[in-house]
Every structure is written in C-alpha cells, then in structure tokens.
Structure 1
Amino acid sequence: MSDLPSSATRMAVAEVSGHVVRLAYGNLSGMPFPRKIESLWQISQDPAVFGHVLGPYLAEDPPTAGGAAVAELLRAAGADETVAAANAEWQRGRRERERRGGPRG
C-alpha cells in the first residue's frame, strides 16, 4: 500500500485484529451481534482501522468461513471499503511476489 498507517493506527489495527477473531469464531463468538459491534467500537471507531483489518480477509484465496464472519463484523462496524480494497490488493501482490521468490514487502 502506498499510504502506510500511523503508529497509533497500527496499534488499533493490531487490537481490532485480535479482538474481531475472538468475536467471530473464538471465545466471544456467542455474544449477541450488536454487542460484538459495540465491543469493536470500544477499541476504535475509525473506519480506516476496520478497513485495514478487513483487507487481508478480502484477499483470502480461497475465502474461508472464518474470514467471512470477520468480514461481516468489520463491515457492520463501518470498515472503509476503499482502504480494505487497497490493503487486499497489496496483500495479493505480496503473496504473488512470494510465490515467485521475490521480496515480501
């Protein structure tokens, strides 16, 4: 991606990344959907943060059921789809470079 997120955004992305997995299919998966969204908003209400987390799930090939559950939560929380699409494209490019034996970044 051309625009790297700030360190504060990266920290929020890391927190949201771990939490959303627990909400989607981990130990918090039984929580009612509205409460799941509220718990994400307690970490961040920045659509870009949710978009950065969503990107890798959009890049899954093939898509997984767990990834679909995460994506549903992030979209409901207000993920910026433009940020997510850019991140997904970057992830796909990185994976392609790795397959060819090139640099990861």
Structure 2
Amino acid sequence: MDEKIFELSFEIISFAGNAKSIAFDAISKAKAGEIEKARELLKESKEEVNKAHRCQTSLIQKEACGEKVEMSVVLIHAQDHLMNTMNFQMLAEEIIDLYERIDNK
C-alpha cells in the first residue's frame, strides 16, 4: 500500500474519532443543561471533520489526476469512520435541540 494513502487514511480515522468524541461530549453538556457549551463543542467537532475532509479531498484529487488510489481495509475503515461520525454529528445536533426545547418548557 502507498505510504501516503496509508498516512492519510489514519489521519481521517484520527480526525473523525476526535470529532465523534467531541460530539458525544456535546450531547453530555446538553443533557446537563449547558446548551451553549454543547453548541460550541459541536462546532469544534465539525472543525475536526473538516480536517478529515481535507485528507479525503487530497485522495480524491490524486485519483482525479490519474493517480491510482489503492483500496485497502484501512482506507475503507477510514471512510466508514468518517461517514459514521458525520451521521453522529447530525444526530447530536438534533439531540441538543431537543434538550434545549425541554429546558425551555
């Protein structure tokens, strides 16, 4: 496997993992009634996902320029991890909204 692809794959995994962890913390803050802190954490989580996207984009650009991007279990895992994190962020945003709604009643 190309070393650069391997490195980018692990960067995607790392950034996505950080993002998911931060989003989970955001839910915990919302549950504790700290809605503003929860929204700040969710914003931070999205910034981490953007870093993962930049890695992903560099892989897409390589392929678009005609370079062969070798598929591997690590790259597939990285993509899966990123997509799951993005879904988790969307759910976290909904959960935070619900906690805010409950707190305002």
Task: Please state which band the TM-score falls in when normalised by the shorter chain.
Answer: 0.3 to 0.5
Q: Select the structure with the greater relative contact order (CA < 8 A; seq sep ≥ 6).
A: 2
- Structure richer in helix, relative to its length: 2
What TM-score does the superposition give when structure 1 sets the normalisation length? Answer: 0.37
